[in-house]
Amino acid sequence: MARKKDPDRFREQSAETDSPSVRDDAITPSDTSEPPIAEQADLNQPLDSITAAPTAIPVNPVADAGHHLEDRLSRLETTLLHLQQIEQRLLDLQNVPMAIPAPVPPTAIASSPSPTAPNTLLSNAASWIGAGVGLLPSIIARGDPVASRAPFSLTETIAELRSINRMFVDPRYSLSWLGRITPPLLLLAFIFSSYVVPFASVPVVGWLIEKLGQIIIGFGLFKVLGYEARRYREKAPDLPPSLRL
């Protein structure tokens, strides 16, 4: 009998478990491991507050400094390269021989007025200067008529004598040491030629030797004075045209 009652009890227990009341009682909140949905999140809370805020990515200061240092080194290398190129260009310019421009003929200067002349007065002055430069060679080739005179002519001798007189009385002219010392000594030697000229005391021919000595002393005195006179005629600014050289 006991074995026959066991299947009936099993059917009753299975029927009790299949009923809704038993299933509702069997599943209780205390038996679950997860919290209720109401406890996990509030449904009225905004979506932006629920989403997590983005976290800032940490920057490595060593990598940033290395990047800046690399940039500065690249710019420094570029600058050094430019300096080397400039130095090479300067060396090339120094090694290249410079061509000397040909001088412009005076006629071209006189005929072509300067395009940058500010007014007519300057252009006229430039043309006059060019004309004067063009006439200089002809004047130099023709020469001065006073300078072309013969050096041993009577007119030149008189001009030298006049210059000798003027150079001794002109306070602005300074005599050279040759003109200061030699003429007085030669003048004394001319006056006392009988004591200076050798063999002047020999009888019969002594007077002839003395006269010959006086001629030589006088010629030397005239040459020294003539040299000083020519020097005076070249340097004196206010001489008449007949005395200038």
Question: Which pLDDT does position 198 carry in this prediction?
Answer: 86
Classify 83 as helix, strand or coil: helix
Task: Tell me whether residue 119 is in a domain.
Answer: no
CB 163, CB 229: distance < 8 Å = yes
Question: Which pLDDT does position 219 carry in this prediction?
Answer: 92
Task: Tell me whether residue 143 is in a domain.
Answer: no
Give the domain range for residue 173: 154-235
Task: Tell me whether residue 169 is in a domain.
Answer: yes
Question: Which pLDDT does position 188 carry in this prediction?
Answer: 92
Question: Which pLDDT does position 100 carry in this prediction?
Answer: 62
Task: Tell me whether residue 69 is in a domain.
Answer: no
Q: How many domains does the chain have?
A: 1
Question: Which pLDDT does position 37 carry in this prediction?
Answer: 47
Task: Tell me whether residue 18 is in a domain.
Answer: no
Question: Which pLDDT does position 4 carry in this prediction?
Answer: 46
Task: Tell me whether residue 38 is in a domain.
Answer: no
CA dist 15 and 45 (Å) reads: 45
DSSP H stretches of helix in 192-243: 193-196, 206-235
CA dist 25 and 168 (Å) reads: 161
For 118, the token pair is 């500010």
Per-10-residue mean pLDDT, the chain, length 245: 50 52 45 47 50 54 75 88 86 71 55 51 70 60 51 76 83 84 91 87 87 92 88 79 70
